[in-house]
Amino acid sequence: MSRSLTRPAARQGSVTVSVTSPVTDHGTTGASVSCASTDLIYVASAVNAYVAGYTHSFVVRVARYRGPGTYRALATLTVAGPQGGIASASAVPGTPVTISAAGGSFVIDATGAQGRTLAATVSWTCP
């Protein structure tokens, strides 16, 4: 018997970002955050979290989830500015992530499809 992961509707949580490449920005904002888990999978996401003049969107997927702890995840992070995309790193495997009862955090340092390095730390709180 398999269990399906049903994402609840995104509600107000918070997102904190610290981007060091290709731009520099940092800060915390209230954002629509979705957090869901089953016995084996954890997924968190936020779309268009506005910090320091940039929008940040992320998805983190942890397989073999066993509760709060440190894992390697599949992560995607996109940073966009007023004129459009700044950098995006999609489906980066092995991204270090820490999950707590309240939310989590991850560090990403990857080169995206457009050849730009995206280096950032992202943390979130679940609603």
> Tell me, what's the pLDDT at 48?
92
Residue type, 122: V
> Tell me, what's the pLDDT at 86?
84
How many whole angstroms separate alpha carbon 18 and alpha carbon 120? 5
* Number of Cβ within a 10 Å radius of residue 25: 17
How many whole angstroms separate alpha carbon 105 and alpha carbon 112? 20
Q: What is the DSSP letter of 9?
A: P
Q: Decide if pLDDT at 67 tops 60.
A: yes
Greater pLDDT, 115 or 76: 76
**Per-domain boundaries in the chain:** 11-125
pLDDT tens-digit readout, 48-64: 999 988 999 999 999 99
